[in-house]
Structure 1
Amino acid sequence: MAVVEETTETAEVVANPDGTLTRRESLEPQRVRREGKWVPIDLSLEVRADGSVGPKAAAVDVRLSRGGAGDRLAVAVRDGKEIGIGWDGALPAPRLSGAVATYPEVLPGVDLTVRVTGKGFSQLLVVKNREAAADSRLKEISFPHHTRGVTPRATAEGKIEVVDEQGAVVFGGDASRMWDSSVRVAATSASRSASSLSTMGFEVTPEATVVRPDPGYLTAQERVFPVMIDPEYWWAGTKLNHAVVQSAWPDEHNFNKTSGDLGDLKAGYQNGYISRSYFDFTVAAMHGKVIHRAKVRPRVVHSWGCAGGPTELWHAWGVGWDTTWNHQPALGAKQGDIGKANNAAYCPSDGAAEVPVDGPVRAAAAEGWATVTFMLRAKNEARQEDWRKFALDPVLEVVYNSYPSLPAELGMEGGLIPCVTGGTRPFVATPTPRLRGKVSDPDNGMLSVRYALHRGPVGDSQLVWNATQDNVPSGSFSEVTVPSGVIVDGVYNWSLYANDGGQSSRWVGNCEFEIDRVAPGVPAITSTDYPGGGQQTPAGGVGQTGTFTVSANGTADAVAFLWSVTDQQNDDPQTRIAADAPGGSGVFRWTPTASGALNVFVRSVDRAGNRSPIVRYPVYVNAGDPLTGSLNGHWKLDGNLVDSSTGGRTLVAEGGATTTATGYLGQAAPVGNGKYLHTNTSVLDTATSYSVSAWARLDQTGNWAGVVTQDGSRNSGFQLQATPDGKWAIVMFSRDQDGGGPVHARAISPENAQIGAWTHLTGVYDHGVGELRLYVNGAFAVKVTYTSTWSASGPLQVGASQWAGNRIETFPGAIDDVRAYQRVLVPSEAAALANESVLRAHYPLSKGSGTTATDLVTNSNATLAGTATWAQVGGEDAVKFTGQLGAGYGAVDAPRPTLRTDRSYTVSAFVRLDTTEYAAYAAVSLRGTRNSPFMLEYRPELKKWSLQVSHSETQDGVWWAPASDVVESGRWVHLTAVYDHARREVRMYVDGAFAGLTAGVTGWNGAGELMIGGGVWRGQAVDPFLGAVRGVRVYSGALPDELIGQLPVQN
């Protein structure tokens, strides 16, 4: 069975039935990844959909010209890097044959061919006759470069290398060779003569590779045409390499060359010279493996005859750029002989051969070699009959296995009890514990796991039980349960090992434990913040953290306690706190999120995990206004600096700060440029739980801009702030010293602040759990851990911060409605503060005349457009709409109210439909460039009133939030829709009563004006209302239910 995850372009791994694996590593790529699947290499050329020419499937993709002027001749592409060459002039359309593209007659009597190889391409100018060889244009031939992410350059050895920005060689190349056709293509020959090859000069410039063929070579009388002139490129990233060295060309560097007759491997004597072939395989995957057997499988593609002597396979010490006939690697041991014959005319065969190579592969696995190299040569290098040619696809086949990894993560009871030896050994309550360990095998096979349990400590124990678990997948936990009757009181130890069917890991473990089956006694619990006694002793309040102390109450081995809080009469506490010492006490903090009668439950846990009976501790949390409880300061900033809470801490203005700007709620304080506000004394104890909130309008970014902070001696105790990169944050520092100490706990919003927009911020420090939390526009944004508390005793600052004893970072913008609580604000309270509703527009649309309608909030005028008219409908003065599109379209166009539709908002109106058939009818909307962000309308598909919220300005999706009530035509009805940003929901109300909720809705901020009587979709006016509308109101914020119920009466 194939091990798919081990497959690469050159390797495949098969799992054998006996548990071993077989890895086959090929010299050349055999497969390539296409659309998530491996497909076989197919170098056959095809015309692609874009008109280019290329191989069907290649490890290094090659794009060839389809002909014409200005097109690149050939480009090799790998891992985003590209190297290619062009042709100076127009190219004819190519003739395709297998992996070869031929561009005929690019010069008179000269063809240009490109052959795709396993790692790149080889381009040949084919000079077909003597007349063509005399062409002066062959004296210097320029091949323009194409590159992407690489640079070609010439080397000192006279080759080409193509490097990336880091200087790593990505492609190799050669432009120094030309040869003629003195190769005898016959049954008894397959190689060139010693005089057939010539070296030519070349130059690599930034623009091109320029070759200069030897004129004397081209015009020599013995020349056999055609003559080939060769630049080629290949991918250098492969770890598998080869080189053919030949005695006739003793200094020729043929490393990884495949052009001409170097497209295969050769061994033996022919035509007066000797060939030898070197090739290597990567063996990194074999490191540390147990090698059962290994063999090299070369394939003979041609032998001189049928009865030649053998070709020898030797282990060699490497092959590289410097390998030539005169510089051959040292040899190791001979591995074996290849006597296979394959002569198409006289003794055809499949050419398959194999030679055992156990020795070098075992050495490579044991010593961590990167590669193992082999060499082919004829045993008799003086006899032509022994000559053989091999395909450039030898395979290294290795059958191997791996030692299982040492078991890890040993433990008991599902990992809750760790593996320990010695005096800190755990105590265990059960006599049938579960033992486990995580086992793995580098080969990812199935494993057997052997356990052994001994009675007594390590070094003085006796085996009392063992077990084996079979068929455990690699990378998973093995677990066994000790059966009843094996364990009694006392000390035990256990170990385990893994076996893959062939090899075993070492024993690991020596995990000791001691049995203790006696449960602890009940604990005692006390709290001064929330005294027990239930309703008889009301205390605290929502968001006010309480401290509880639990003691062992005389149980000497109680090491921990479990606690919980619920409104139920029974519970199984699970939150764990440690005792300060065995038999000691522990402390936990709890912050109520609801008022009324609650129960705290606690129990003790001893060293073995035995649990005591549960103790119930009743408490009663005081009720009250959730937004005024423990309110230490509230500054509305509506034209004054007065503290509206009972604290009485009036703010002081610095730098000419005022409270006269337009705020989110009434007026606000513009700060920045040295303007800020502060109290004269501290407001909060920052060493315990607190919350601060404010509306803030950030006008620019660039510094750590404090919205609300409180001074220490050197630094602010906390900073609710904007960050330099335009996000919101709350930060606390671990020390009141220059630099803030080693810990800067900063909870930063994941979303950017919206410049110029009013945003509600709530920062919370929950001392009970040691967390800083940030809420933005009522929605939870982020939390971080913080436990390094200290009390900042200086004044509260609005719009400024303190750092290293200096006043810094005044806030560039405006601030409104600042609050400070000496308690935790819970999520619903943060949402309530952000959702505070403000009436932004109110159009009665009654008793009107002409074409204008007045907004009672801003005194702005809206315009009746198109067919919208004043009318009395159903006994009420209103605006009447005809429900027509095109020329008959009518609407009331009003200025945009002061609200954002990506925040909470409320829209309401009296509406009266003439019919519930045919179409959608929009009563109130905001215009959008393309889509309305919302439309309060009737939907015929649902036969319901609904708030339609579009997904975005550019997306066409919508949420429909329908009301449950049946819609009747010819009757006035009051509609209210609330978008609650903090809860991501829309609530619908009909005639003041709740009528439906749709969750999972996310609004976006539209930039258009208010539109009564229609909406916008895909840039067009749509859903014209058919009926009448009056009493339109728009609020920023989420109007509460009690006020929604009053709207039909107020209108």
Structure 2
Amino acid sequence: MTTGTGVAQAADNLPPKQPLVQDLRTGQKACAAGDERAYVSGPPALSAVLYDPEEDNHPAEANLVTGEFEAWWTDADGAEQRLTHTTLETPSGDRQQWRMPADVLPPDTVISWRVRANDGAANSPWSSEDDGSVCEFVYDDDSPEPAKITSPEYPEKVFWVDGVGVYGHFTMDSPSDDVVAYTYRFIGGPGGTARPERPGGPATVSYLPLRSSADELTVQSVDRSGRVSSESSYRFYVKDGRAAVAHWPLDDAEGATTADAEAGTDARAGSGVTFGGPAPARTALTATATLDGSVHGYLTPGSPAVADPRKSFAVSAWARPAQTDRNMTVASQDAGDSAGLALGLSARGEAPAWSFTVGGARVSGGAPEAGEWAHLLGVYDAETGEARLYVNGHETGTRSEAAPAGAADAFQIGRVRDGNGYHDRWHGELGDVRVHDRVVVPAEAAGLAHRTPSSRGHWSLETATDGTSPERNGGAPLKLGSGASIYRVPDGSCLPWLDPDCVPVPEALVGEGHLALDGRTGHATAQGPVVDTSDSFTIGVVVRLADREPERPMTVLSLPGEHTDAFKVRYLPEQHAWQLVMPHKDQRGAPETVVARFARADGRDGTGHRVAVVYDDATDKVRLYVDGQTSADATADLPNGWRGSGALQIGRARTGDGWGEYLHGDVDEVHAFAGALTDRDIPSLGSGTEPCFC
């Protein structure tokens, strides 16, 4: 309506809306009652979102409401106690709260509450009326009791209990009847939260020890209010993992008809098996068995090796396929007329791959190559229900959930069974077949596949006689070309910081001498390629450039083929970086894998840089290290390395039909290995000592 002055008036006032239960909070917890009521560890802030109807037609700033909160409970004498609180005005739609007083709230008592809104003229209905609900909470002022911890597999403080790869089950149980969770953590291992099936009940977690050591589990109980107990600790001692339950090295003498078992039952060999085959280099194996791929090319103990395929187990072997164009089996175990598990080579996809099959689930990965050794390990983890595959010590493929059959019949080497008999027979070499009745953990997988690097040359470059510098262990020396010489610190040189009249002389890079190259023709060569660049290798060097601002690329190491270098390591001034270049083929203009790592030239008075190249044929990765460090952009895939045939070059590289990129600077501690050194081993290169692969 309007007045005589023509000023519009608001229509009749409408009461505020009833607060919605879903907009009510007890602290951070939703409004609930009965068994779902909130438990809080301190006096909570009760809050609600309050609304005034938009139909009131007030300006937005005039839609103000207050909240009237009410809480009540029954005290120890059976009398009802009631508190109320009215908030200040705030705009419609704001959350309003009442922080309850700490001095009046009784602990361990059900406290009910509700709220309504007031716009200064009318009240809304209470939040508990009609379809609404009363909110309830309990104030808990006591922390729960610490948990007691037990484990049947790993009793507390018992020295050296079995063991790595065997799950332990740890039960946490607090005497308090309101515990709803246990937070836990193993030393250096996993942690998390375990919840009992009912408040106050126990909770159990499983834990797979990955190393032999003293270990400790710490636990805290958490009650419904969020209160936390003091810590409980449980110390236990894990011994090494159990040895294989079946193990056939397959290094038996030529002419043998049975493979001796180091564990388990000897395996009868078919007539298509011959012993005395080649073994993977740099392993403990001395010989292997060759299987011809025929119906007679197999071995079997005639009994199961995996006693119960529904429990955790692992199967492993060294394998070298003679072909990769068909399915082939390394090892399997019969389960009636079919196979319960199988480890081998699959040619089903676009490219051949290694595979591990358990109960119909398959994990595939890796890239088999004819004539190349690989270590295979298939693991079934009954605790997680997953099958996983390791190739050359690295997990590959995607883990798969498996449901193994319970039947356990004869173990087979070199063939697999289905309803039509045995098939997918192995053609090639096999060695070191093992079966474990537990999980083989990642560190053990790497150990089984480890091929110890072996030195192929170590030139300390301290002296030269008749133009050659000796190899440290009596091998072929480095031949020094023109423009190359061995610099040695003069005898009787003094220390400038002790003697003011001392004339300083250049220091050697490492030890008492190094190779000095003039940048024009200076170089040195080793007899032969030194390393096989088609297989895993490592080469390290200490190098110092003579100029702080070099004007052109310079190569410190290269290994030529007929048409190009199998690899070269050079310094690029425009990038201020050492660069590794590895062509994919022995031809000019072939595609190249190139990685680089930043390092400024420090001039002849600097300490230089320790540069290393690692090619790991097992993982098809190449890495460049500078001063013991590598990075993602200094690592690349190299699926098919090829063998350089020329002599290892120090200080120059192939350029066109001749040589170029001569290094102007100093070189020391050239060290070459067959095999891929690890990140742990690389920092020892360039120190003047031999790495220890312990």
C-alpha contact (below 8 Å) 2:547/2:602 kept by paired residues: no
Q: Within 5 Å, give how 1:402-413 maps onto structure 2.
A: none
1:759 and 2:391 correspond: no
Give the residue type in structure 2 aligned to 1:1007.
W
1:948 and 2:563 correspond: no
TM-score using structure 1 length: 0.42
Q: 1:631 to 1:975 in 2, by over 3 A?
A: farther
Where does residue 748 of structure 1 map in the other structure? 364
Structure 1 SS opposite 2:361: strand
C-alpha contact (below 8 Å) 1:716/1:792 kept by paired residues: no
Deviations 1:31-79 (A, max 9, x none): xxxxxxxxxxxxxxxxxxxxxxxxxxxxxxxxxxxxxxxxxxxxxxxxx
Where does residue 647 of structure 1 map in the other structure? 263
- State the distance in 2 between where 1:1010 and 1:698 align: 26
Bigger strand fraction: 1
- State the distance in 2 between where 1:806 and 1:414 align: 69
- Structure showing greater Rg: 1
**Which of the residues 136, 159, 174 maps onto 1:537?**
159
Where does residue 731 of structure 1 map in the other structure? 357
Give the residue type in structure 1 aligned to 2:332.
T
Unaligned runs of 5+ in 1: 1-406, 437-449, 457-462, 473-478, 495-508, 734-743, 990-994
Where does residue 1035 of structure 1 map in the other structure? 674
1:959 and 2:581 correspond: no
- Return 678-687 or 957-966, whichever deviates more: 957-966
Deviations 1:803-822 (A, max 9, x none): 45943322354434434444
- State the distance in 1 between where 2:602 and 2:398 align: 41
Give the residue type in structure 1 aligned to 2:631.
A
Where does residue 695 of structure 1 map in the other structure? 318
- State the distance in 2 between where 1:481 and 1:654 align: 85
User: 1:615 offset after TM fit, Å?
Assistant: 1.4
User: 1:890 offset after TM fit, Å?
Assistant: 9.0
Q: 1:639 to 1:786 in 2, by over 3 A?
A: same
**Which of the residues 620, 643, 647 maps onto 2:237?**
620
**Which of the residues 339, 343, 347 maps onto 1:720?**
343
C-alpha contact (below 8 Å) 1:930/1:1020 kept by paired residues: no
1:1007 and 2:642 correspond: yes
Give the residue type in structure 1 aligned to 2:642.
A
Q: Within 5 Å, give how 1:176-191 maps onto structure 2.
A: none
- State the distance in 1 between where 2:628 and 2:317 align: 31
Q: 1:612 to 1:715 in 2, by over 3 A?
A: farther
Q: Within 5 Å, give how 1:64-213 maps onto structure 2.
A: none
**Which of the residues 912, 916, 923 maps onto 2:557?**
923
Where does residue 186 of structure 2 map in the other structure? 565
1:710 and 2:329 correspond: no
Structure 2 SS opposite 1:709: strand
Where does residue 274 of structure 2 map in the other structure? 658
Structure 2 SS opposite 1:831: helix
- Say how many residue pairs are matched: 557
**Which of the residues 110, 134, 137 maps onto 1:515?**
137
Structure 1 SS opposite 2:183: strand
Q: 1:931 to 1:538 in 2, by over 3 A?
A: same
- State the distance in 2 between where 1:753 and 1:467 align: 76
- State the distance in 1 between where 2:364 and 2:376 align: 12
C-alpha contact (below 8 Å) 1:951/1:958 kept by paired residues: no
**Which of the residues 286, 289, 312 maps onto 1:669?**
289
Give the residue type in structure 1 aligned to 2:243.
S
Structure 2 SS opposite 1:637: coil
C-alpha contact (below 8 Å) 2:595/2:624 kept by paired residues: no
Where does residue 423 of structure 2 map in the other structure? 808
C-alpha contact (below 8 Å) 1:692/1:819 kept by paired residues: yes
Q: 1:1017 to 1:746 in 2, by over 3 A?
A: farther
- State the distance in 1 between where 2:274 and 2:598 align: 43
1:906 and 2:538 correspond: yes
User: 1:585 offset after TM fit, Å?
Assistant: 3.0
Deviations 1:400-457 (A, max 9, x none): xxxxxxx9x9999999x8x999987475446458999xxxxxxxxxxxxx9999999x
Deviations 1:67-119 (A, max 9, x none): xxxxxxxxxxxxxxxxxxxxxxxxxxxxxxxxxxxxxxxxxxxxxxxxxxxxx
Q: 1:1028 to 1:752 in 2, by over 3 A?
A: closer
- State the distance in 1 between where 2:191 and 2:289 align: 48
Give the residue type in structure 1 aligned to 2:231.
I
**Which of the residues 213, 216, 219 maps onto 1:599?**
216
Q: 1:872 to 1:485 in 2, by over 3 A?
A: closer
Where does residue 433 of structure 2 map in the other structure? 818
- State the distance in 2 between where 1:709 and 1:582 align: 47
Give the residue type in structure 2 aligned to 1:526.
T
C-alpha contact (below 8 Å) 2:112/2:135 kept by paired residues: yes
- State the distance in 2 between where 1:434 and 1:1021 align: 82
Cα RMSD between the aligned structures? 6.2
C-alpha contact (below 8 Å) 1:882/1:1025 kept by paired residues: yes
Identity %: 22
Give the residue type in structure 2 aligned to 1:527.
S
Where does residue 831 of structure 1 map in the other structure? 446
User: 1:600 offset after TM fit, Å?
Assistant: 0.3
Deviations 1:370-407 (A, max 9, x none): xxxxxxxxxxxxxxxxxxxxxxxxxxxxxxxxxxxxx9
Q: 1:707 to 1:732 in 2, by over 3 A?
A: same
User: 1:619 offset after TM fit, Å?
Assistant: 1.7
C-alpha contact (below 8 Å) 1:930/1:954 kept by paired residues: no
Deviations 1:565-587 (A, max 9, x none): 0159xxxx952334355544333
User: 1:985 offset after TM fit, Å?
Assistant: 7.9
Structure 1 SS opposite 2:166: coil
Give the residue type in structure 1 aligned to 2:250.
L
- State the distance in 1 between where 2:602 and 2:248 align: 43
Q: 1:455 to 1:433 in 2, by over 3 A?
A: closer
Where does residue 524 of structure 1 map in the other structure? 148
Give the residue type in structure 1 aligned to 2:232.
V
1:781 and 2:396 correspond: yes
Q: 1:832 to 1:531 in 2, by over 3 A?
A: same
Deviations 1:328-355 (A, max 9, x none): xxxxxxxxxxxxxxxxxxxxxxxxxxxx
- State the distance in 2 between where 1:413 and 1:695 align: 63
**Which of the residues 70, 90, 100 maps onto 1:485?**
100
User: 1:732 offset after TM fit, Å?
Assistant: 2.2
User: 1:998 offset after TM fit, Å?
Assistant: 0.9
Higher RCO, Cα 8 Å, sep 6+? 2
- State the distance in 1 between where 2:431 and 2:89 align: 71
User: 1:1035 offset after TM fit, Å?
Assistant: 0.8
User: 1:530 offset after TM fit, Å?
Assistant: 1.7
User: 1:588 offset after TM fit, Å?
Assistant: 1.9
C-alpha contact (below 8 Å) 1:429/1:609 kept by paired residues: yes
Structure 2 SS opposite 1:772: strand
Where does residue 269 of structure 1 map in the other structure? none
C-alpha contact (below 8 Å) 1:660/1:667 kept by paired residues: yes
Q: 1:1006 to 1:921 in 2, by over 3 A?
A: same
Deviations 1:952-1006 (A, max 9, x none): 762574224879999899x9x99865456769785869xxxxx512132124132
C-alpha contact (below 8 Å) 1:841/1:897 kept by paired residues: yes
Structure 1 SS opposite 2:591: coil
Q: 1:929 to 1:824 in 2, by over 3 A?
A: farther
